[in-house]
Amino acid sequence: MTVVDGVDLAEELRLALHLADLADAVSLPVYDGRDFTVDWKANRTEVTEADRRAEEVIAGYISTTRPHHGIVGEEHGTSGPADARWRWVVDPIDGTSNFARGIPVWASLIALVHDDEPVVGVVSAPALGHRWWAARGLGAFADGRPIGVSAIDTIDEAQVSVTFSAGWDRLGRTGALVALQQQAYRARGFGDFWQHMLVAEGAIEIAVDAVGLAPYDVAAVMVVVEEAGGTFTDRLGERTWQHDTAVSSNGRLHRVAIDTLLA
């Protein structure tokens, strides 16, 4: 049992898993039926009615069962007590572009944060048929089995996933991403949440995300990666879930990744 500020994290994890069930029940039928419209937000990212409805269902259940908790969602912003020490950070569909195009790599990201520290994380990808979850001190799991990062400790034996984006061009670091790929044994671009979950499972060693992330993109995956024994930072090597970049690794190769990105 892990208790934080009098709260049993195992119980909060059970709630988070139920929230993922509720989100899947909204999003997966819409995805499978291909019967939805795509709108564009001010930041030129897609949004569908499934995004909005899944977040509404999650927020509604939290407000009923945890009225003293705050909520931060991608689609509907903040709600609940402004001074709440416990906050749920939710991305109802991470990978909406994939969702809209019929690519099954999308997921609901659900995290519980206590005093700005993510302590519970669930990543549910129903179109892939997989779910990952973790809570501080309780380990990380994929579909019910314990997971952990790999033991590979040389970059020339490592598999890496890099997500290129215009943000990397603006930072002048696209060449560094290429250099990291060239050092590795194999490079791929799995993207979004999935690359970080592959790090947590030990399937790849390093994942470098796009520039332009928001906290709801990061909080849940951070918990899973770290509970699996990995390292999770921004592109500068700072452990955080509130910056706009994210790099995860098996820990052994994190310094190599960050040094290459900064070179």
- Which is higher by pLDDT, 47 or 51? 51
Confidence band of 45 (pLDDT split at 50, 70, 90): low
pLDDT at 42 over 70: no
Q: Which CATH architecture has domain 155-262?
A: 3-Layer(aba) Sandwich (3.40)
The domain locations on the chain are: 3-146, 155-262
Long-range contacts (CB closer than 8 Å, 24 or more residues apart) made by 28-35: 28/126, 28/127, 31/99, 31/102, 31/104, 31/106, 31/126, 31/127, 32/127, 34/102
pLDDT at 44 over 60: no
Confidence band of 47 (pLDDT split at 50, 70, 90): confident
Q: How far apart are CA 166 and CA 16, in angstroms?
A: 33
According to the model, what pLDDT value does residue 191 have?
A: 86
Please compute the mean of the pLDDT values over residues 4-23 and round it to a whole number: 96
CATH number of 3-146: 3.30.540.10
